């Protein structure tokens, strides 16, 4: 859709000044006035099989995220947890437009991306739990999922930090003379990082097959898009770099898929990188530690009326492709998949303490020299020796450190209590040191 | 063996590695048409073409990040940053991506890439173009750090760096590019191993560890110490800071009972500070004096020639510091 519509919106914005510095403060606007959703083109429903796939994927993400949120409040998940509830259409629409051999690289709000690419939900949940069977073996956590098999090239904790990597993936695809393409997801907050301009320029200069998909959920943490970006039509932000853009309705899975298919075709066949903006909304806070004082309940409710799963569900029912019973069945399946994931994660042991230095370096065999210095014990050790050392002091001190995780001794770390018995915690910062990002 | 300049040795290493592996490519600012700000990539564009030798825009963070992405997808990039001072713009990608990717993704993918850059003062380039930052990169787990001093090491270590599966920060020195030395020829015979220090001069009285170009300063000071003070210094060039051949250094200190570390960078949190800590932990009972350090001045690098020279370590500083370790005997 979108190019023409987006332009129209932009012109309108210019005419009434709503895009520029004179924009009224966000609290002065009704929810409908804040980035009105363009309904996008009308897309025919795909066949039943595809509708089912879409629904199943969106429901899996929704249920996974909901359950992850619960597990966070039960302190089964640590750190920050960024949920993508509300953004399912953008995630699923985009990934359905991709080939299996295409690369996907994402931000730290990426559980859904991993699931949509087909990563085992069990291993995703285990990573959130910090367990040995997590996709990143407990080294990464919520923000750093990765699955090389599915060419899901990671979540990244630094806003905009994945953009240069996407250019590199595109460069590799080009260099190796494949027709693989890259989808690089970023948020509206990343638009104003220096990386954005650098990466778009380089992708365009070298004609790399990269699609930059801006999942515009309208807030960079708690700062509304119009308070951070002079130009709020983000599909235009590639113009000066030679990266043409289009906007789509991020609440409509078919519109996202269609726009991404177009963009991927141009990127792949014409060697012309693209930017696509999917306008969406996250229904939950930026992270679990977000009191959401920067937006009104009414605004959230307004967007919830555009819930991507409900609207798509209503449509498939209306057009009698899928029935309510079917949808209920998909939902039950999603819930039980997520339950299995929680059970798996719960039963997965914490990593052994001597995995601390695993995967830091690649060693080719007999390595001279000290790669890692371990200064936790009175004597200095090579860190790698944690695995092989007979030093009781080192081992004891590793155990002493791990005890601060309050999950008991080595035996108990391998045998976790039922999460349902965990204590309910507030959704605010965990402790005084805990930030809220 | 053939005698050649440090920059020529680097050029030969790049050439041989480009020939040896189709997945190796070079990118950086002005490395192609301009042939490198220090002419290290002289002739490579002509011989290997634009696919393998890629001029980039001035976008340090993205050049490094693109290298990381390409390495994750199976290529072996060599990224040139024009000087180490500009690498500060790329610290996010160096630390949060290059150094972290293998670890934070549980070893699913590695980052076999080399980030080359020269450092060092002495050319009156003032506060933004003259610094030595090996300590910053030594600080980061996940990175390897090479600081070659001789032409032979420049070639051997660069070849090893390209073949290593880990991300390597390869720190050259602007003051060394023109220095000549004997270099082994012919490809495969010459890659070196990281983590093996070179003992440049043997001696029983004091161990002097010189980092990067300061290995030469240390060697010069050692001659003065022998000629004028009857002190025989053992001079060690670690060649790589990570992995560090700590064993060779500690063995030497156990023999000489004294240690002085010479570096061009700043004193606080410097390579010498780190090494002094490791030496006293490993060889405290063998030390007859506190570990001495000679560093650059604790200031941004001044422009004015006398001030700049005053801010940098010279053999005289090393001689004085070594003598101070004998003060109480």
CATH of the domain at B107: 3.40.50.970
- Mean pLDDT of each 10-residue bin along chain A, 437 residues long: 42 40 48 60 93 98 98 94 97 98 97 98 98 97 97 97 98 98 97 96 98 96 94 95 96 97 98 97 91 91 95 96 97 98 96 92 85 85 76 81 78 59 48 54
Decide if A239 contacts A36 (C-beta within 8 A).
Answer: no
Contact flag B244-A166 (C-beta cutoff 8 Å):
no
> Is-catalytic flag, B129?
yes
In the stretch 172-231 of chain A, residues with CB closer than 8 A to chain B read 172-173, 175-176, 194-195, 198-199, 201-202, 205-206
Q: How many domains does chain B have?
A: 2
Question: A377 to chain B: nearest residue by CA?
Answer: B281
Check whether residue B97 and residue B10 sit in a common domain.
yes
Decide if A345 contacts A126 (C-beta within 8 A).
Answer: yes
> How high is the pLDDT of residue A65?
98
- B164 chain-A contacts, CB cut-off 8 A: 362, 364
Report residue B206: phi and psi, to 5°. Answer: -155, 145
Decide if A209 contacts A273 (C-beta within 8 A).
Answer: yes
CA neighbours within 13 Å on the CB side: how many for A21?
0
CB-count burial class (<10 Å; 0-12, 13-18, 19+) for A406: exposed
Residue A147 sits at the chain B interface (C-beta within 8 Å): yes
Check whether residue B203 and residue B179 sit in a common domain.
no
Host domain of residue B78: 2-189
According to the 3-state scheme, what is the secondary structure of chain A? CCHHHHHHHHHHHHHHCCCCCCCCCHHHCCHHHCCCCCCCCCCCCCCHHHHHHHHHHHHHHHHHHHHHHHHHHCCCCCCCCCCCCCCHHHHHHHHHCCCCCCEEECCCCCHHHHHHHCCCHHHHHHHHCCCCCCCCCCCCCCCCCCEHHHCECCCCCCCCCCHHHHHHHHHHHHHCCCCCCEEEEEEHHHHHCHHHHHHHHHHHHCCCCEEEEEEECCEECCEEHHHHCCCCCHHHCCHHHCCCEEEEECCCHHHHHHHHHHHHHHHHHCCCCEEEEEECCCCCCCCCCCCCCCCCHHHHHHHHCCCHHHHHHHHHHHCCCCCHHHHHHHHHHHHHHHHHHHHHHHHCCCCCHHHCCCCCCCCCCCCCCECCEECCCCCCEECCHHHHCCCHHHHHHHHHHHHCCCCCCHHHHCCCCCHHHCCCCCCCCCCCCCCCC
Strands of the sheet containing A274-279, edge to edge, are A103-105, A182-187, A210-216, A274-279, A245-249
CA distance B300 to A67: 53
> How high is the pLDDT of residue A405?
85
CA distance A225 to A204: 25
Check whether residue B95 and residue B244 sit in a common domain.
no
- A359 chain-B contacts, CB cut-off 8 A: 102-103, 106-107
CA distance B296 to B124: 15
Q: Shortest Cα distance from B70 to chain A (angstroms)?
A: 4
CB pairs under 8 A between A and B: 178
Question: A253 is written with which tokens?
Answer: 């899975």
Please list, in sequence order, all residues whose beta carbon lies within 8 angstroms of the beta carbon of residue B143, skipping any fewer than 6 positions away. Answer: B94, B98, B99, B137, B166, B167, B168, B169, B242
CA distance B65 to A122: 31
CA distance B55 to B266: 32
Other Cβ atoms within 10 Å of B268 Cβ, number? 9
> How high is the pLDDT of residue A432?
47
From the list B71, B104, B243, which residue is nearest A136 (CB)?
B104
Helices (H), B27-150: 44-52, 60-72, 91, 101-104, 134-138
Q: What is the three-class DSSP state of B321?
A: helix
Check whether residue B142 and residue B265 sit in a common domain.
no
CA distance B82 to B119: 9
Across chain B, how many H-helices and E-strands are there?
Answer: 12, 14
Check whether residue B214 and residue B278 sit in a common domain.
yes
Q: CA nearest B73: which of A224, A366, A347, A168? A: A168
Which of A369, A379, A385 is the mutation pick for testing B, counting most B CBs within 10 A?
A369
Decide if B163 contacts B13 (C-beta within 8 A).
Answer: no
Residue A171 sits at the chain B interface (C-beta within 8 Å): yes
Per-residue pLDDT 10s for chain B (329 aa) are: 899 999 999 999 999 999 999 999 999 999 999 999 999 999 999 999 999 999 999 999 999 999 999 999 999 999 999 999 999 999 999 999 999 999 999 999 999 999 999 999 999 999 999 999 999 999 999 999 999 999 999 999 999 999 999 999 999 999 999 999 999 876 555 678 999 999 999 999 999 999 999 999 999 999 999 999 999 999 999 999 999 999 999 999 999 999 999 999 999 999 999 999 999 999 999 999 999 999 999 999 999 999 999 999 999 999 999 999 997 65
Q: Shortest Cα distance from B194 to chain A (angstroms)?
A: 7
Please list, in sequence order, all residues whose beta carbon lies within 8 angstroms of the beta carbon of residue B168, skipping any fewer than 6 positions away. Answer: B113, B114, B115, B143, B144, B145, B146, B161
Q: Domain ranges for chain A, please list them.
A: 3-347, 353-418
Residue A169 sits at the chain B interface (C-beta within 8 Å): yes
From the list A175, A371, A380, which residue is nearest B281 (CB)?
A380
Contact flag A368-B70 (C-beta cutoff 8 Å):
no
> How high is the pLDDT of residue B189?
58
From the list A172, A195, A367, which residue is nearest B75 (CB)?
A172
Q: CA nearest A413: which of A350, A348, A329, A323? A: A350
CA distance B42 to A276: 41
> How high is the pLDDT of residue A381?
82
Note whether residue B329 is domain-resident.
no
Check whether residue B275 and residue B300 sit in a common domain.
yes
From the list B73, B110, B282, which residue is nearest A380 (CB)?
B282
Check whether residue B118 and residue B221 sit in a common domain.
no
Question: A238 is written with which tokens?
Answer: 């590639």
> How high is the pLDDT of residue B107?
97
- Tokens 């830091």 belong to A360
Note whether residue B159 is domain-resident.
yes
Question: B325 is written with which tokens?
Answer: 């370790």
Check whether residue B58 and residue B128 sit in a common domain.
yes
From the list B63, B104, B246, which residue is nearest A370 (CB)?
B246
Catalytic residue among B129, B172, B234, B263: B129
Which of B28, B70, B113, B198 is the mutation pick for testing A, counting most A CBs within 10 A?
B70
Note whether residue B21 is domain-resident.
yes
Contact flag A359-B107 (C-beta cutoff 8 Å):
yes
Contact flag B195-A369 (C-beta cutoff 8 Å):
yes
- A205 chain-B contacts, CB cut-off 8 A: 57
Check whether residue B177 and residue B146 sit in a common domain.
yes
CATH number at B243 reads 3.40.50.920
Which of A137, A190, A359 is the mutation pick for testing B, counting most B CBs within 10 A?
A359
Other Cβ atoms within 10 Å of A135 Cβ, number? 30
Q: Shortest Cα distance from A60 to chain B (angstroms)?
A: 23
Check whether residue B268 and residue B297 sit in a common domain.
yes
Q: pLDDT, tens digit, for every residue of B164-223?
A: 999 999 999 999 999 999 998 765 556 789 999 999 999 999 999 999 999 999 999 999
Residue A369 sits at the chain B interface (C-beta within 8 Å): yes
Decide if A233 contacts A10 (C-beta within 8 A).
Answer: yes
- B244 chain-A contacts, CB cut-off 8 A: 369-370
From the list B97, B144, B247, which residue is nearest A165 (CB)?
B97
CATH topology for A3-347?
A: Rossmann fold (3.40.50)
Q: How far, in whole angstroms, is CA A144 from its chain's centroid?
A: 9
Contact flag B109-A147 (C-beta cutoff 8 Å):
no
Please list, in sequence order, all residues whose beta carbon lies within 8 angstroms of the beta carbon of residue B95, skipping any fewer than 6 positions away. Answer: B140
Catalytic residue among B60, B134, B172, B251: B60
> How high is the pLDDT of residue A121?
98
From the list B25, B62, B196, which residue is nearest A164 (CB)?
B62
Residue A101 sits at the chain B interface (C-beta within 8 Å): no
Report residue A219: phi and psi, to 5°. Answer: -140, 130
> How high is the pLDDT of residue A391?
72
Check whether residue B296 and residue B160 sit in a common domain.
no
Question: B315 is written with which tokens?
Answer: 């053999």
Contact flag B70-A168 (C-beta cutoff 8 Å):
yes
Question: B293 is written with which tokens?
Answer: 């350090």
Contact flag A168-B74 (C-beta cutoff 8 Å):
no
Check whether residue B177 and residue B303 sit in a common domain.
no
Q: What is the pTM of this model?
A: 0.92
Decide if B75 contacts A173 (C-beta within 8 A).
Answer: no
Contact flag A156-B96 (C-beta cutoff 8 Å):
yes
Q: Shortest Cα distance from B106 to chain A (angstroms)?
A: 4
């Amino acid at each position: 859709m979108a190019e023409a519509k987006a332009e129209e919106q932009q012109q309108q914005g210019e005419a009434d000044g709503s895009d520029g510095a004179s924009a009224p403060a966000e609290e002065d606007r009704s929810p409908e006035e804040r980035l009105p959703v363009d309904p996008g083109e009308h897309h025919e429903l795909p066949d039943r099989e595809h509708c089912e796939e879409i629904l199943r994927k969106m429901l899996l993400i929704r249920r996974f995220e909901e359950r992850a949120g619960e597990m966070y409040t039960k302190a089964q998940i640590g750190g920050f947890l960024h949920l993508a509830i509300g953004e399912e259409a953008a995630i699923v629409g985009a990934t359905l437009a991709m080939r299996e051999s295409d690369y996907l690289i994402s931000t730290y709000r990426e559980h859904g991306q991993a699931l949509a690419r087909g990563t085992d939900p069990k291993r995703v949940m285990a990573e959130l739990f910090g367990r040995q069977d997590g996709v990143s073996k407990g080294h990464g956590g919520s923000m750093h999922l990765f699955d090389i098999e599915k060419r899901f090239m990671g979540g990244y904790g630094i806003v905009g930090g994945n953009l240069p990597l996407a250019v590199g993936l595109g460069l590799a695809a080009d260099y190796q003379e494949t027709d693989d393409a890259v989808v690089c997801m970023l948020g509206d907050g990343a638009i104003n990082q220096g990386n954005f301009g650098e990466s778009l320029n380089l992708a365009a200069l070298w004609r790399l097959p990269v699609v930059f998909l801006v999942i515009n959920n309208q807030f960079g943490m708690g700062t509304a898009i119009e308070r951070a970006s002079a130009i709020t039509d983000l599909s235009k932000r590639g113009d000066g770099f030679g990266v043409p853009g289009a906007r789509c309705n991020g609440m409509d899975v078919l519109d996202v898929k269609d726009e991404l298919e177009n963009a991927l075709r141009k990127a792949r066949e014409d060697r012309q990188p693209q930017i696509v903006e999917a306008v969406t909304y996250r229904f939950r806070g930026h992270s679990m530690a977000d009191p959401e004082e920067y937006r009104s309940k009414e605004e959230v409710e307004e967007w919830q009326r555009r819930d991507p799963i409900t609207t798509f569900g209503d449509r498939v029912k209306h057009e009698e492709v899928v029935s309510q019973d079917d949808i209920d069945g998909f939902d039950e399946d999603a819930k039980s998949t997520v339950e299995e994931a929680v059970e798996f994660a719960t039963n997965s042991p914490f990593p052994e303490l001597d995995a601390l230095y695993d995967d830091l370096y690649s060693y080719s065999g007999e390595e001279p020299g000290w790669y890692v210095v371990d200064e936790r014990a009175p004597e200095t050790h090579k860190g790698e020796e944690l695995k092989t050392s007979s030093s009781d002091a080192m081992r004891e001190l590793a155990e002493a450190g791990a005890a601060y995780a309050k999950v008991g001794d080595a035996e108990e770390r391998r045998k976790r209590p039922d999460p349902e018995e965990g204590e309910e915690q507030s959704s605010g910062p965990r402790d005084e040191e805990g930030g809220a990002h | 063996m053939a005698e050649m300049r440090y920059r020529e040795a680097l050029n030969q290493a790049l050439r041989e590695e480009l020939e040896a592996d189709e997945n190796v490519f070079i990118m950086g600012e002005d490395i192609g048409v301009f042939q490198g700000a220090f002419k290290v990539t002289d002739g490579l564009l002509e011989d290997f073409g634009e696919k393998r030798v890629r001029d980039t825009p001035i976008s340090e963070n993205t050049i490094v990040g693109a290298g990381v992405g390409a390495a994750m997808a199976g290529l072996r990039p060599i990224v040139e940053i024009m000087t180490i001072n500009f690498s500060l713009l790329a610290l996010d990608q160096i630390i949060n991506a290059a150094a972290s990717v293998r670890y934070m993704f549980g070893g699913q993918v590695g980052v076999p890439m080399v980030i080359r850059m020269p450092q060092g003062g002495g050319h009156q380039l003032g506060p933004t173009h003259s610094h030595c930052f090996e300590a910053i990169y030594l600080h980061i787990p996940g990175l390897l750090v090479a600081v070659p001093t001789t032409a032979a090491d420049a070639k051997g270590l660069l070849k090893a760096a390209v073949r290593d599966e880990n991300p390597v920060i390869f720190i050259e020195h602007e003051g060394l590019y023109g220095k000549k030395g004997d270099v082994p020829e012919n490809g495969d015979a010459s890659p070196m191993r990281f983590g093996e220090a070179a003992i440049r001069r043997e001696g029983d009285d004091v161990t002097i560890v010189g980092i990067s170009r300061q290995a030469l300063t240390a060697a010069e000071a050692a001659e003065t110490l022998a000629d004028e003070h009857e002190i025989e210094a053992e001079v060690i060039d670690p060649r790589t800071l990570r992995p560090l051949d700590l064993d060779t250094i500690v063995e030497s200190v156990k023999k000489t009972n004294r240690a002085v570390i010479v570096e061009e960078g700043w004193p606080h949190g410097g390579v010498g500070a780190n090494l002094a800590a490791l030496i006293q932990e490993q060889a405290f009972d063998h030390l007859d004096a506190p570990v001495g350090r000679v560093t650059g001045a604790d200031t941004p690098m001044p422009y004015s020639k006398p001030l700049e020279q005053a801010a940098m370590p010279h053999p005289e500083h090393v001689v004085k510091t070594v003598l101070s370790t004998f003060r109480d005997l």
